[in-house]
Amino acid sequence: MALISEGRFIEDEWRHLAEEEDLPKSGKLIVSQKRLGEAVASRPLDRALGVIVANTANPAELAPYFARLSLIAVAFPAFADGRGFSLARLLRRAGFGGELRASGRIVADQAIHARQCGFDTIEIPHDLAMRQNEAQWAKALAAYSGTYQEGYGTRGSILERRRKAGS
């Protein structure tokens, strides 16, 4: 998998733990939602912990773990399945302040929307990274300087900036 942050391919410090693997005591780990309770109970508090969830996950079920989680990765099984974008907004509204990662079949054209929904990073399979290189991701993120809708990590909507300028 290739990891993208602000239009650049970066090294991923996190390790996805397979279901059958034992939980190591060190390193940045991403576990399945099924193993989240076990990981929280057995890993030291000073060790970074992340979880990967389906795009149909219930944010209320994850909320009790927010203080312990450094990362939530939302699975995108297909580029045409946008439920992960809605889940990202719900997780941010519920108070998750850690890294939010879109993981799966995301294309560069969806990068701005992903950022507005609250995603910090995007993780894509290597076959997509070979077709859409770093320059394409950076260009996609720079394509629009403003939006009409409020988003996370933005300077405000175009309408909000116009209101302020007219005051």
Domain boundaries, the chain: 2-166
pLDDT at residue 44 in the model: 84
**Three-state secondary-structure class, residue 106:** coil
* CATH code for the domain defined by 2-166: 3.20.20
| Helix, strand and coil percent figures for the chain, each rounded to 5 | 35, 20, 40
Q: Categorize the per-residue pLDDT at 150 as very low, low, confident or very high, splitting at 50, 70 and 90.
A: low
- Return d(Cα 145, Cα 98) in angstroms, integer: 25
In this predicted model, what pLDDT tens digit does every residue of 2-49 receive, in sequence order?
A: 999 999 999 999 999 999 999 888 899 999 999 999 999 988 888 999
pLDDT at residue 96 in the model: 96
Pairing of strands 99-104, 71-76: parallel
Nearest in space to 30 (alpha carbons), one of 63, 84, 67, 74: 74
How is residue 60 annotated by DSSP? H
